[in-house]
Amino acid sequence: MAESDYVPLFETKQVKGRLLFRCIAASIFLGICFIVMYRSEEKLRDGLGLDCFFLSYGSVFIGFSPPFEKELPGIDIFVCTADPLIEPPSMVVNTVLSVMAYDYPPEKLSIYLSDDGGSDLTFYAMLEAANFSKTWLPFCKKFRVEPTSPEAYFRTASEALGDAVNVKDWLSVKKLYEEMKMRIEATIKLNRIPDHIRKQHKGFREWDFVLSKHDHQTILQILIDGRDSNAEDIEGNPLPTLVYLAREKRPQHHHHFKAGSMNALIRVSSRISNGPIILNVDCDMYSNNSKAIKYSLCLFMDEKKGDEIAYIQFLQSFDNLTKNEIYASSFRVLQQLELHGLDAIGGPCYNGSGCFHRREALCGKKYEKNYKVDWKKVSDAKADESATFLEETCKVLASCTFEHNTTWGKEMGLIYGFLVEDIITGLNIQCKGWKSMYLSPERDGFLGVAPITLLQTLVQHKRWMDGHLQVFLSRYCPLLYGYKKIPVKLRLAYCPYNLWAANCLATLYIVVVPCLCLLKGISLFPKISSPWVFPFAYVAFVHRAYSLNEFLWCGGTFRGWCNNQRMWLFNRTTAYFFALFETILKLLGYSQLNFVVTAKVADNEALKRYDGELIEFGATSPMFDILATLAMLNLFGSFGALKKVILDVDEDLQVLDKFGLQILLCFVLVTINLPVYRALFFRNDNGKMPSSVTYKSIIFAMLACTATMCFAASIFLGICFIFMYRAMFFPVGGKAERWTWIGLFLSELWFCLYWFFTTVSRWNSVYRLPYIDRLSQRFGKELPGIDIFVCTADPLMEPPSMVVNTVLSVMAYDYPHEKLNIYLSDDGGSDLTFYAMLEAANFSKTWLPFCKKLKVEPTSPEAYFRTASEPVNAEWLSVKVNLILISCTHIV
Ligand X SMILES: O=c1ccn([C@@H]2O[C@H](COP(=O)(O)OP(=O)(O)O[C@H]3O[C@H](CO)[C@@H](O)[C@H](O)[C@H]3O)[C@@H](O)[C@H]2O)c(=O)[nH]1
Among ligand X, Mn ion, none, partner that 221 touches (CB below 5 to 8 angstroms by kind):
none
| Binding stretches for ligand X (CB under 6 A) | 80-82, 87, 114, 116, 257-258, 261, 282-283, 352-353, 419-422, 460, 463-464, 467, 595, 597-598
Q: In whole angstroms, how close is the CB of 282 to Mn ion at the nearest point?
A: 5
- Interacting residues of 145 by C-beta distance below 8 A, sequence separation 6+: 101, 139, 153, 157, 290
Give the span between the Cα atoms of 495 and 489, in whole angstroms: 10
Q: What are phi and psi of 222, to 5 degrees?
A: -90, 105
Beta carbons within 8 Å of 305's beta carbon, 6+ residues apart? 8, 10, 299
CB of 448 to Mn ion, least distance (A): 6
836: enclosing H helix or E strand:
helix 831-854
Nearer to ligand X, 278 or 804 (CB): 278
CB of 350 to Mn ion, least distance (A): 15
SS (H, E, C) 319-336: CCCCCCCCCCCCCHHHHH
| DSSP SS3 for 318 | strand
Residues 479-508 that bind Mn ion (CB under 5 A): none
> What residues numbered 226-285 form the site for Mn ion, per CB under 5 A?
282
The length of the chain in residues reads 892
CB of 422 to ligand X, least distance (A): 5
The letter for the amino acid at 754 is Y
- Minimal distance in Å, beta carbon 445 to Mn ion? 16
Q: Are 32 and 76 contacting, i.e. CB atoms less than 8 angstroms apart? A: no
- Which amino acid makes up residue 210? V
d(CA 208, CA 601): 29
Type and span of the H or E element at 546:
helix 533-553
Least CB distance to Mn ion at residue 461 (A): 12
Q: Strand, coil or helix: what is 590? A: coil
Q: How far apart are CA 377 and CA 360, in angstroms?
A: 14
CB of 623 to ligand X, least distance (A): 16
For ligand X, give the closer residue by CB, 420 or 679: 420
Q: Is 116 a catalytic residue?
A: yes
Task: Tell me the β-bridge partners of 13.
Answer: 59
67-106 footprint of Mn ion as x/- string (CB under 5 A): ----------------------------------------
- Helix, strand, or coil (residue 494): helix
Using CA atoms in the order 532, 536, 537, 541, what is the torsion angle rounded to 10 degrees?
160
CA distance 381 to 831: 122
Distances (CA, A) of 245 to 16, 263, 317, 645: 46, 12, 27, 68
Q: How far apart are CA 103 and CA 140, in angstroms?
A: 9
CB of 89 or CB of 535, closer to ligand X: 89
Q: Which is nearer to ligand X, 100 or 701 (CB)?
A: 100
Pairing of strands 316-318, 435-439: unpaired
Minimum distance from CB of 600 to Mn ion (Å)? 7
Closer by beta carbon to Mn ion, 321 or else 655: 321
Is 826 a known ligand-binding residue? no
Query: For the range 558-564, what are the long-range contacts, defined as Cβ-Cβ under 8 Å and sequence gap of 24 or more?
Result: 559/324, 560/323, 560/324, 560/325, 560/328, 560/330, 562/324, 563/324, 563/325, 563/326, 563/327, 563/328, 564/325, 564/328
Q: Which is nearer to Mn ion, 378 or 593 (CB)?
A: 593
Contact partner at residue 268 from ligand X, Mn ion, none, CB < 5 to 8 Å by partner kind: none
Q: Which of 116, 284, 302, 826 is catalytic?
A: 116
The residue among 428 and 598 lying less far from Mn ion, judged by its C-beta, is 598
**Partner whose footprint covers residue 352, from ligand X, Mn ion, none (CB < 5 to 8 Å by kind):** ligand X
| Interaction residues for Mn ion, span 569-598 (CB under 5 A) | 598
How many binding residues for Mn ion (CB under 5 A)?
Answer: 2
294 interacts with, out of Mn ion, ligand X, none, CB within 5 to 8 A per kind = none
380 known ligand binder: no
- 258 in a labelled binding site: yes
What does the alpha-carbon distance between residue 515 and residue 303 come to, in Å, rounded to a whole number? 61
Q: Given the complex with Mn ion, which of 314 and 434 has the nearer CB atom?
A: 314
Contact 759, 794 (CB under 8 A): no
Cβ at position 420, least distance to ligand X in Å: 5
Q: Beta strand 446-448 with 286-287: parallel, antiparallel or unpaired?
A: antiparallel
DSSP code for 159: P
146 binds, among ligand X, Mn ion, none (CB under 5 to 8 A by kind): none
Cα(594)–Cα(636) distance, integer angstroms: 38
If the CB atoms of residues 595 and 864 are measured against Mn ion, the closer one turns out to be: 595
Give the DSSP letter string of 5-66.
G---S-EEEPPTTHHHHHHHHHHHHHHHHHHHHHHHHHT------PPP------EEE-----
Name the minimum Å distance from CB 508 to Mn ion.
28
Which of 67, 4, 64 is closest to 376 using CA atoms?
A: 67
The smaller minimum CB distance to Mn ion, of residues 224 and 283, is found at 283
For residue 282, say whether it is annotated as part of any ligand binding site.
Answer: yes
Shortest spacing between CB 155 and ligand X, in angstroms:
21
Strands 75-81 and 241-246, bridge-based pairing: unpaired
Tell me the residue number closest to ligand X, measured at CB: 352
Query: Which three-class secondary structure string do you get for 236-299?
Result: CCECCEEEEEECCECCCCCCCHHHHHHHHHHHHHHHHCCCCEEEEEECCCEECCCCHHHHHHHH
Judged by CB, which is closer to Mn ion: 276, or 352?
A: 352
Query: Does 422 participate in catalysis according to the annotation?
Result: yes
Per annotation, catalytic residue among 343, 422, 466, 826: 422
Q: At what angle do helices 735-763 and 711-728 cross, to 10 degrees?
A: 170
DSSP sequence for 439-492: E--SS-SEEE---SSHHHHHHHHHHHHHHHHHHHTSTT-HHHHTTTTS-HHHHH
Annotated binding residues for Mn(2+), as ranges? 258, 282
Annotated binding residues for UDP-alpha-D-glucose, as ranges? 87, 116
Annotated catalytic residues are: 116, 422
By CB under 5 A, name the binding residues for Mn ion: 282, 598
